Structure 1
Amino acid sequence: MIICRSMDYPLRTQRQRVQKQVNGEKERLSLLVSRGSVDAVSQQMASHPQYLESFLRTQHYILHMDGPLPLPYRHYIAIMAAARHHCNYLVYLHSTHFLRVGGDPKWLQGLEAAPPRLRLLDHINKVLAHQPWLTACSHIQTLLKAGEQCWSLAELVQAVVILAHCHSLCSFVFGCDTDADFVPLSSKSPNGTPPTFCPFDAANGNTNVPQSHATPSEHITGRPSLDSSGDVMCLKERIQKSQEEREKQTLQQTDTEEEEEMICLADPSRFITDPDFCYQEFARKEEDHFQVFRVQDYSWEDHGFSLVNRLYSDIGHLLDDRFRSVATLSSLHSDDLKRAIWNYIHCVLGIRYDDYDYGEVNQLLERDLKLYVKAVACFPDSTKTPVCPLRWTPLKTSERIHINLLIMEARLQAELLYALRAITQYMIA
C-alpha cells in the first residue's frame, strides 16, 4: 500500500499541475475576450470557454505554427475557402493576415493573379464547399501529379484541413450573423482590434501589440536653438534628420493606406470560379449512382484520425479535441438531440450511420430547427439563399451558440472524411 501511495502521489501532483494550467488558460482567454483582444467570432464562442480554447489552439496551429505550407499560402487558401460562401468577414480577416505575413498584394486582385499551384486547388475547394460527396481519388491524383506545379502529400493534407476549417467556420459566421454585422474599417481591424494584432495568437498568449511609429516631434525632445547648442551645424543636422523621418513616415502611411484599400476591395467573387456551382440535394441511392458514405466503412476514429495525424503531425489530436469538446459541452440540449443534429447534418451531406435510427431526427428536431440546421450547414451564403430564421426565444445565447458549434464541427468532420477517404484511395491504388 505504501508503494501504491508513493506512485500515486506524483500522478496526483501532475494532474493538479495540468488542471491549474488549464484553469489559467481559461482565465486568460476570458480576460482577452473581455478586453476585446480577440476577433468577433471568438467573442461569440466565449460562452463556451473550454471549446474556445480548443478552437483557437487548432486554428493557430494550422495557420501559424510549423507546417509544410508557407504562411502566405495558408491565408490565401483560407481566402479561397471563405470566398466560396461570399463570407466578407473571413475574406477581409485573412486578406489582412496574408499581407502581414509577407503575401504579395497582387494576389488579392483575384484568383487569376495567384500562383498556378494555388489555382489548382480551386476545383477541390469548390467541391468540398458545396458537394463534398463528389470528392474523388482523381482529384487527389491531379494535384499530386501536376508536373512542376504538383503538391506534396503533406502540403495537400494541410491545404485540405484549412479548406474544411474555413468552410465550416463560414457556417458559424453566418449562423451567428457575424458577417451581416461586419463593416471593414480602414483604420482598425474588425471589432476594434488593433490592425497589428493577430487574433489567432490569443490561444498561445502572444498578445503583444507593436507600438506605432513615433511622430517627428517625439524624436526631438526639445526645440533646438543656438543658445542651447551653440552649434549651427548640429542644428542643421537635426533639422535634416527630422525632415527625413517625416518623409519616411509619410511613405509608410501611404503604403499602409494602399494596403488597407487593397484589403477593403478584396471582393470574395474575385477568388472563385464557376459561381453557379452550389449545394444540391444529395442524390437518393435508388435514384442515382451516388453511393452513400457509410461510417462503418470509413470513420474518423478508425481511419481519418490516424491518416491525417501521420501526414500532418499532431493535427489529428487537435481536431479530435475539437470534436470531443463540442460533444461534451454542458447545455440544456439532451445527448439525443445533439446526436440527432450531428447525424442529420452528415445525412444531408451523404454520410450515414448503420446503427442509428434516423426516425429520431424527425422526432427530436422541429421543422424550423431542421430547416435552419440544413441551411447553415449546406448553403450559409445569405446572398443566394436567405437562412431560414430559427425561433430563438426559448433558448439562451449560449444554447444558440452551441447549436451553431455543433453544425460547424459536424460539417468540418464530414468534409475531412470525404477528403481523407479520397487520399486513402489514392495511396492504396
Structure 2
Amino acid sequence: MIICTSKMEYPLRSQCKRVQKQVMVNSEKERVSLLFMKALVSRGSVDAVSQQMASHPQYLESFLRTQHYILHMDGPLPLPYRHYIAIMAAARYHCSYLVCLHSAQFLRVGGDPLWLQGLEAAPPRLRLLDHINKVLAHQPWLAACSHIQTLLKAGEQCWSLAELVQAVVILAHCHSLCSFVFGCDTDSDLAHLAKSPNGTPPTFCPFDAANGNANVPQSLKAPSEQITRRRSLDSSCDMVCLKERIQRSQEEQEKKEERLLQTQTLQQTDLEDEEEMLCFADPSHFITDPDFCHQEFARRDEDHLQVLRVQDYSWEVHGFSLINRLYSDIGHLLDDRFRSVTSLPSLHSSDLKRAIWNYIHYVLGIRYDDYDYGEVNQLLERDLKLYIKAVACFPDVTKTPVCPLSWTLLKASERIHVNLLIMEARLQAELLYALRAITRYMIA
C-alpha cells in the first residue's frame, strides 16, 4: 500500500508544479495587462519600449513608476521643460524615436511649438544645459564642479539646485534609455511607421482618438507651416482625421494649395505634411558641437581625469542620500530600478550579470577595488563585450549593433534582460559622476 502511494505521488507533484507554473504565468500576464491599462489611461498609448520590457513585468513596473514620477509628478521643473530636456538628451544620440515621442508630449502639456524649431529657439535657461548634456552623454567623467557653478550662478537665467538635480535625472534617464532603444532596434520602428501607406505619424496610436486626444490644442490654431506640422505630430490621429481638419480650415487649405501651385492632391499634401513633420523632429536641430563624442577613458591622461573609485563615492553611500535629499523620493525609485534589474529571474548567472555591470562601469572610468576584473574576460566573450560597450557608450554610431553570435540560442526575454542591465548600469554611472560634481560644488 505504501509503494502504491509513493508511485502516485510523482504524477501528483508533477501536476501540482505545472499548475503552479501556469498560475505564475497567468499572474505575470495579468500584471503586464494591468500596467498597459494604466499606460492607456494616463497617456492613451503603450509605447514600443514598454512593449519590449513587458517580458520582465517586475522591472517594467519599476521603470514606468520612475519615468512617470520624473516626467509628470510634482517637481521643481514645469512639465514642458521636462520633455524638452528629454528631447535634448535623446538628440545627443540621434534617437529619432525618443525625440518624436517627447516632442508630442511636449506639445500635449502646453509647450511652445516654436521651441521645437531647434535649440536656438529655446529659452536661454534651457540652452545653458547644453554643455552638461553633451558631457554626461559622451564623457561623463568630465562632469566638474565648474559646470554646476555655471548653471547655479548664471544671473537671471540661473538654475536652483533642486531644478538642476531633476534636470540631471531626466538627462541620465534619457541617455541610458537611448542605449535600450538602439540595443533593441526600436529606433528602426520609426522609419517603418514613417513609410506607412496611410500617412500615419510615428507617434500614432489608435487609443489616442479613442481617448479623446485627437482634438487640436488651442496653441495649434494659428495657420502657419510650422504649426501645420506640429498639429500632425501632436494630434496623433490617422489621415482621415487629418483630412477632416484640413477641410474645416479652408484658409489653411488655400495656403497649402498656393505653396504647391495647385499641382498636388489633398492626399499628396497630407504626405508632405508628414515629411515635414519628420524633418521637424530631426534630432540634429537640438545638437551643438556634433563632433563632441565618446572617447576611451583608459586612453586619457589620468592625471587630469581621476578614476571614480566606488570606495570613495558610491551610489549606496553617497549618491542615494544626496539625490533623495534634493529631489524627494527619486532615490528610492531609482534604487528600486537598480535592484529590480539585477534580481530578475534569468538564465544568466549572478556572476555574469555582475560582470556586465562592472564592465560598463569600467569603460566609463569607475573602479571597484574589491572586484577581480579577470572575471570579465572569463565570463564575457569578446563579441559580447564589443556589443555591450557599443550599446552603452556610443549607440548612435552603431545604430543597429551587431548582436553576439551566442545570442542566437537565447530567448528574446534574455536578450532584453542584457539590454536592461546595460541601460541601468549606464544610468547609475552617469548619475554618480553628476552627483559627485554637485557634491564637490556644495562642499567647495
Out of 299, 304, 311, the residue aligned to residue 326 of structure 2 is 311
Pairing 1:347-366 to 2, within 5 Å after superposition: 347-366=362-381
Alignment partner, residue 97 of structure 2: 89
**Paired residues of 1:349 and 1:414 also in contact (CA < 8 A):** yes
CA gap of 1:54–1:188, structure 2 versus 1, over 3 A, is farther
CA RMSD in angstroms, aligned pairs only? 3.1
Q: Does 1:58 align with 2:66?
A: yes
Alignment partner, residue 150 of structure 1: 158
Q: Does 1:177 align with 2:189?
A: no
**Paired residues of 2:360 and 2:426 also in contact (CA < 8 A):** yes
2:310 alignment partner AA: V
**Paired residues of 1:340 and 1:361 also in contact (CA < 8 A):** yes
**Paired residues of 2:45 and 2:207 also in contact (CA < 8 A):** no
Q: What's the offset of the Cα at 1:390?
A: 2.0
The separation in 2 between residues aligned to 1:425 and 1:297, in whole angstroms, is: 13
CA gap of 1:161–1:260, structure 2 versus 1, over 3 A, is farther
Q: Does 1:29 align with 2:35?
A: yes
Q: What's the offset of the Cα at 1:181?
A: 2.4
Alignment partner, residue 440 of structure 2: 425
TM (normalized to structure 2)? 0.76
Alignment partner, residue 201 of structure 1: none
Post-superposition Cα deviations, 1:230-261, rounded to whole Å, max 9, x if no partner, equal xxxxxxxxxxxxxxx99994379979x89977
CA gap of 1:353–1:211, structure 2 versus 1, over 3 A, is closer
Alignment partner, residue 173 of structure 2: 165
Q: What's the offset of the Cα at 1:42?
A: 0.6
Tell me, what secondary structure is at the counterpart of 1:182?
A: helix
Question: Greater shift after overlay, 305-314 or 145-154?
Answer: 305-314
**Paired residues of 1:79 and 1:91 also in contact (CA < 8 A):** yes
Number of equivalences? 367
The separation in 2 between residues aligned to 1:252 and 1:305, in whole angstroms, is: 56
The separation in 2 between residues aligned to 1:318 and 1:253, in whole angstroms, is: 47
Tell me, what secondary structure is at the counterpart of 1:107?
A: helix
1:46 alignment partner AA: A
Tell me, what secondary structure is at the counterpart of 2:421?
A: helix
Pairing 1:276-291 to 2, within 5 Å after superposition: 276-284=291-299, 288-291=303-306
Tell me, what secondary structure is at the counterpart of 2:187?
A: coil
| Identity value in percent | 77
Q: What's the offset of the Cα at 1:264?
A: 2.4
Post-superposition Cα deviations, 1:267-291, rounded to whole Å, max 9, x if no partner, equal 1011011101110100458765321
TM (normalized to structure 1)? 0.79
The separation in 2 between residues aligned to 1:24 and 1:252, in whole angstroms, is: 50
Larger helix share, 1 or 2:
2
CA gap of 1:350–1:382, structure 2 versus 1, over 3 A, is same
Q: Does 1:264 align with 2:272?
A: no
Post-superposition Cα deviations, 1:373-397, rounded to whole Å, max 9, x if no partner, equal 00000000046x7634322211100
Q: Does 1:324 align with 2:339?
A: yes
CA gap of 1:22–1:178, structure 2 versus 1, over 3 A, is closer
2:278 alignment partner AA: C
Alignment partner, residue 414 of structure 1: 429
Alignment partner, residue 401 of structure 2: 387
Q: Does 1:250 align with 2:249?
A: yes
**Paired residues of 1:96 and 1:263 also in contact (CA < 8 A):** no
Alignment partner, residue 68 of structure 1: 76
The separation in 1 between residues aligned to 2:53 and 2:152, in whole angstroms, is: 37
Gaps of 5+ in 2: 1-26, 217-243, 257-269
The separation in 1 between residues aligned to 2:215 and 2:146, in whole angstroms, is: 52
The separation in 2 between residues aligned to 1:113 and 1:212, in whole angstroms, is: 27
Out of 391, 399, 412, the residue aligned to residue 414 of structure 2 is 399
Q: Does 1:137 align with 2:145?
A: yes
**Paired residues of 1:54 and 1:318 also in contact (CA < 8 A):** yes
The separation in 2 between residues aligned to 1:411 and 1:153, in whole angstroms, is: 23
Q: What's the offset of the Cα at 1:156?
A: 0.3
2:211 alignment partner AA: V
The separation in 1 between residues aligned to 2:59 and 2:200, in whole angstroms, is: 27
**Paired residues of 2:179 and 2:391 also in contact (CA < 8 A):** yes
Q: Does 1:340 align with 2:355?
A: yes
The separation in 1 between residues aligned to 2:301 and 2:435, in whole angstroms, is: 26
2:34 alignment partner AA: R
CA gap of 1:111–1:251, structure 2 versus 1, over 3 A, is farther
2:379 alignment partner AA: L
Question: Greater shift after overlay, 102-111 or 347-356?
Answer: 102-111
CA gap of 1:57–1:296, structure 2 versus 1, over 3 A, is same
Q: Does 1:297 align with 2:309?
A: no
Post-superposition Cα deviations, 1:129-164, rounded to whole Å, max 9, x if no partner, equal 000000000000000000000000000000000000
Tell me, what secondary structure is at the counterpart of 1:73?
A: helix
Alignment partner, residue 110 of structure 2: 102
The separation in 1 between residues aligned to 2:359 and 2:152, in whole angstroms, is: 33
Q: What's the offset of the Cα at 1:209?
A: 1.5
Alignment partner, residue 230 of structure 2: none
Q: What's the offset of the Cα at 1:32?
A: 7.0
The separation in 1 between residues aligned to 2:413 and 2:288, in whole angstroms, is: 37
The separation in 2 between residues aligned to 1:353 and 1:133, in whole angstroms, is: 16
**Paired residues of 1:188 and 1:195 also in contact (CA < 8 A):** no
Tell me, what secondary structure is at the counterpart of 1:313?
A: coil
The separation in 2 between residues aligned to 1:44 and 1:159, in whole angstroms, is: 26
Post-superposition Cα deviations, 1:356-412, rounded to whole Å, max 9, x if no partner, equal 0000000000000000000000000046x7634322211100000000000000000
**Paired residues of 1:54 and 1:321 also in contact (CA < 8 A):** yes
